[in-house]
Amino acid sequence: MERPSFDEFKNWINKNGQISWEMVEMFNAATLSEEKNIDSLEVKKSVLTTANLKKWEEDGYLIVPNAISKSDCEATVDLIYHTLGMDKNDSSSWYGDHPLLQGIMVQLFRHPLLQQNRLSEKIRGAFQELWQRNNLMVSMDRVSFNPPETEHYQFPGPNLHWDVSLKQPIPFGLQGLLYLTDTEANQGAFTLVPGFHNRINSWLDGLPPNAIPREQDLNALGTRPIAAKAGDFVIWHHALPHGSSPNTSTRPRVVQYINYQPIDREIQEEWI
């Protein structure tokens, strides 16, 4: 593939890049700060309670209620159904092929509604409090549509997994998702192994020689489906095994993935 010229790249940015001013300002704040010790910047503590933080230390996840409004959830859900050519009141339309569908993942990244959700003050504030840093960049991640299982459709995954290298020490990191629909435990709910961030090192050390951690029976570690309301935001420590689950209800589960992290976050170069 021929490398584009600078003018071609600039033209792409002008016509298709959709880089918002909010993103530009966020990037500049994260990279051009005059502060030498960003970690010392005061973080406004207004989202997480003492109970939230206690649960975080114990379980490695927490729920931020009402991170966005119900009306914004409904509008985002309508956007996703429209994008996929589905009717939320017609279950027969939920299972057709679409070029943006990859399993339950929908390759929909850019839309003003999605960006508005990403910039929720509650969501950003929760990430800042957990990171204890202000210079965080928001991800441009996708959405997910997990319909009920039927005789002809079975949950395709993803099952329990990690999105981080398991080379020790595993650096601190977070992930998050926004429930766009009220979701019961059996409705394809997000599922994780609570508290595993506190014991993953001993678990890894205790595996037999040459054992592959990702091929172990992660369900045997003790899973928990996370039921929550539309507009609730789930944040978890990335050392927790996590995934979606089979939907045995009658309604789809719809979520948006959102993450905030520092540009200079620590990453293990070796993938295990």
Domain membership of residue 267 (yes or no) is no
Domain membership of residue 26 (yes or no) is no
Domain membership of residue 16 (yes or no) is no
Planar angle of CA 234, 171, 270, nearest 5 degrees: 115
Domain membership of residue 128 (yes or no) is yes
DSSP code string of 80-101: HHHHHT--TT-GGGTT---TTE
Q: 94: closest CA among 177, 150, 159?
A: 150
Domain membership of residue 56 (yes or no) is no
Per-residue pLDDT tens listing for the chain (272 residues) = 445 567 656 655 564 555 555 555 655 665 565 454 444 456 667 899 999 999 999 999 999 999 999 999 999 999 999 999 999 999 999 998 999 999 999 999 999 999 999 999 999 999 999 999 999 999 999 999 999 999 999 999 999 999 999 999 999 999 999 999 999 999 999 999 999 999 999 999 999 999 999 999 999 999 999 999 999 999 999 999 999 999 999 999 999 999 999 999 999 999 99
Domain membership of residue 269 (yes or no) is no
CATH number at residue 129: 2.60.120.620
Containing domain of residue 191, as a range? 63-262
Domain membership of residue 15 (yes or no) is no
CA 1 to each of CA 4, 203, 229: distance values in angstroms, whole numbers, following the listed order: 9, 45, 46
In total, how many domains does the chain have? 1
Tell whether the torsion through CA atoms of 202, 176, 218 and 56 is positive or negative.
positive
